[in-house]
Structures are given as C-alpha cells and as structure tokens.
Structure 1
Amino acid sequence: MLTQLSRLSVETDGRYATSEELQFIKNYLQSFNLRLSAYEKITKAETEILDRVEAKMRDIDPTLFQNASGDFTPTWRKDIIQLLTYATATLLVDDRERLREGMLLWHATIAKSYKFERTCKTTFEVMPEVVKEFLTPEEAALFNPILKLNQIVLG
C-alpha cells in the first residue's frame, strides 16, 4: 500500500488520479477489517505459532536446526519472530514489494551465508498450515501469499 501510494503520488503529479488508479485503495479499504483481524490474531498467538511450527519441523527432520556449529534453534526463533513480525505488518499495510526489497532480500543473504536455506524453506512450507489454525479462511487467503513470498525468497 505504501509503495503503491508513493508510486501514485509520482505518477499523478499535477493531475487528478483516475478511478482505475485509485482502485487499489478501494480494494485495500474493503479488506482492511480482515487484515486487522488477522494481524491481531497472529500477534496474540505468535509464541504458540512458533512452537507449533518448530514441533512440526522437528517431526519432518530432527536435524533441521543443526549445522556445523551445532544447534541454532535460538537463532532460528529470533529470526523467525522478526520475519513473522514483518510478514504480519505487510499483511496489515498490504505492501509485499516493500517486504521483499526491505527485509527478505537482506535476510536471504544471511540465510545463504549460514546455510539456513533448507530450514527457511521448510519453515515457510509448515507455517501456512499452522497459521490457518488461528485465522479464518478469508484471513488466511490474505496472509498465505506473504508466507509464500517468504518461502520463495528465503528457500
């Protein structure tokens, strides 16, 4: 939304925006209550979501949190809290482009340097399954593309 508003400001400099150019604002306003509801549910359940994601990941592969230095679960949790926070903020403001350029590309570099790609990929394969337990289907439909973007960029 913020990126689109900024772009709209530049593109309509000196003229009125057309109805077509303003459509994204109308769409956003129509989905705002769902976005806010999902945002509040995720922030309230953050710890439980992470606990469930971690448990499912350990069921898939108990070695996912191991590397040459040992167990990196605390680092994973810290990073995933940050990524979930940014993903949830992205849901609220509807600005995936800002998420991708601002946080995910930076985080992908870190994940690659520490060889966390497999763990990141698995995290964002499992997370939508867990998050849908806390959201309505409509809310999950708004949030899942953001989680998919995380999986694509980080995995």
Structure 2
Amino acid sequence: MLTQLSRLSVEADGRYAIAEELHFLKGYIQSLDQRLSAYEKIRAAEEQIIRQVEAKMRVIDPNLFTNASGDFTETWKRDIMQLLRYAAAALLCNEHDHLREGLLLWHNTIAKSYQFERTCRITFEVMPEVVKQYLTPQEAALFYPILELNHILLT
C-alpha cells in the first residue's frame, strides 16, 4: 500500500489521479477492517501459533530442530517470530514486495547457509493449518498469500 501510494504520488505529480490509478486504494479500504482484525488476532496469538507450529513439526520429525551444531529450536523460534511479525505487517499494509525484497531474501540466504531449508519448508506447510484456527476464512484468504510467499522464497 505504501509503495503503491508513493508510486501514485510520483506518477500523478501535478495532476489528479484517474479512476484506474485509484482502484488499488478502493480495494485496500474495503479490506481494511479484515486486515486490522487479522493483524490483531495474529499479534495476540503469536506465542500460541509458534508453540503449535513447533509441536506439529516435532510430530512430523522429532529431530527437525537438530543439526551438526546441536539444537537450534531457540534460533528457529526467534526467526519465525520475526517472520510472523513481518508477515502480519505486510498483511496490514498490503506490502508483499517490501517483505519479499527485504526480509525474505535475507532469511533465504541464512536458511541456505545453515541448511535450514527443510525446516523452513515444513514450517510454512504447517503454519497455515495453525493460523486458520485464529482467523476467519476471509482474514485467512488475505494472509495465506503472504505465508505462501514465505514458503516459496525460503525453500
């Protein structure tokens, strides 16, 4: 949203924006209540979401959080908390590009260097199952593309 508003500001400099240029704004305003609600629910349930995701992942593979260096559960929790917060912010502001170009590409480099790709893949396969317990179907429909972007870029 902020990127689109900035782009519109440059493109419509010195003139009124035409209806087609304002279309994204109308769509955003129509979904704002759902975005705010979903953001607040994710914020309130952050710890439970992460705990449930971890538990489901341990059922899939009890050794998923162990590598040659030892147990990296705390590192995973810290990283997933950060990713969940940025994903919620991207949902609120409708800023998928900023999320992709900044945080996710950086996390992708880290995941590859530490060989966490499998853990990332399973995380973002499990997370939508957990998150849907906290969101309405309409809110989830707004949030799932962001989780899918995380899944694609981190695996």
| 1:107-146 mapped onto 2 (5 Å cutoff) | 107-146=107-146
Partner of 1:43: 43
**1-structure distance, mates of 2:3, 2:33:** 20
| Matched letter for residue 148 of structure 1 | E
| 1:93-112 mapped onto 2 (5 Å cutoff) | 93-112=93-112
**2-structure distance, mates of 1:62, 1:12:** 55
**1-structure distance, mates of 2:63, 2:5:** 44
Partner of 1:27: 27
| 2:143 corresponds to 1:149 | no
Partner of 2:91: 91
Q: TM-score, normalised by structure 2?
A: 0.98
Q: CA deviation at 1:96?
A: 0.2
**2-structure distance, mates of 1:113, 1:18:** 47
**2-structure distance, mates of 1:8, 1:118:** 40
Unaligned runs of 5+ in 2: none
Q: CA deviation at 1:17?
A: 1.0
SS at match of 1:38: helix
| Matched letter for residue 88 of structure 1 | A
Partner of 1:67: 67
Q: Cα RMSD over matched residues?
A: 0.7
| Matched letter for residue 98 of structure 1 | H
Greater CA deviation, 5-14 or 67-76? 5-14
Q: CA deviation at 1:14?
A: 2.3
